[in-house]
Amino acid sequence: MIVADTNVTVHLFVAGNLSQAARQLFAYDGHWIVPPVWPHEFLNVMATYGKSGGLSVHRCVSTWRRAWEIFGPRIVPVDNDAALSLAIRHRLSGYDAQFIRLAHEHGVTYVTEDRRLREAFPDSTASVEGYLSGN
């Protein structure tokens, strides 16, 4: 089981430089969980793709629906009081703190492409490639 960042989950659905590795990770360990903030972040990513012209409105909506089918049931509550404390102590966004806190609560790795978060929490985070290679 892993906590998957939105910057990883999106690559299961939208072609990009991380798509192949994200699919490999999902095949390797498909038990991904996400905090309740995940749908808001994913929806925002889809809105950004649509506004920039990277994807059509139809594609954004269909991608959102497919992602919700897969990840809606994988949303796991997080202790938001603890996430807030973590955010303040480590100068994180409240969003990032929820992902980190969820990983800590479940004793699993938070897989993210956010280098700053990986540097701040080296014992509980990994990049997609790092997780696949065991580092």
Dump pLDDT digits (tens) for 34-67: 999 999 999 999 999 999 999 999 999 999 999 9
Fold adopted by 2-133: Rossmann fold (3.40.50)
Cβ atoms of 126 and 133 closer than 8 Å: no
Domain boundaries, the chain: 2-133
pLDDT of residue 66: 98
- State the pLDDT at residue 135: 61
Nearest CA-CA partner of 110 in 119, 94, 99:
99
Q: Which pLDDT does position 68 carry in this prediction? A: 98
- Measured CA to CA, the distance from residue 12 to residue 35 in angstroms comes to 18
Task: Give the angle subtended at the CA of 97 by the CAs of 91 and 102, to the nearest 5°.
Answer: 155
pLDDT at 47: 98
In the chain, the DSSP E strands lie at 2-4, 32-33, 109-111, 125-126
Q: What is the pTM of this model?
A: 0.95
> How much is the pLDDT for 134?
86
Which residues of the chain are under the pLDDT cut of 70?
135
- Which residues in 9-45 are b (16+ Cβ under 10 Å) and which e? bbbbbbeeebeebbeebbeebeebbbbebbbebbeeb
Q: Are 98 and 112 in contact (CB under 8 A)?
A: no
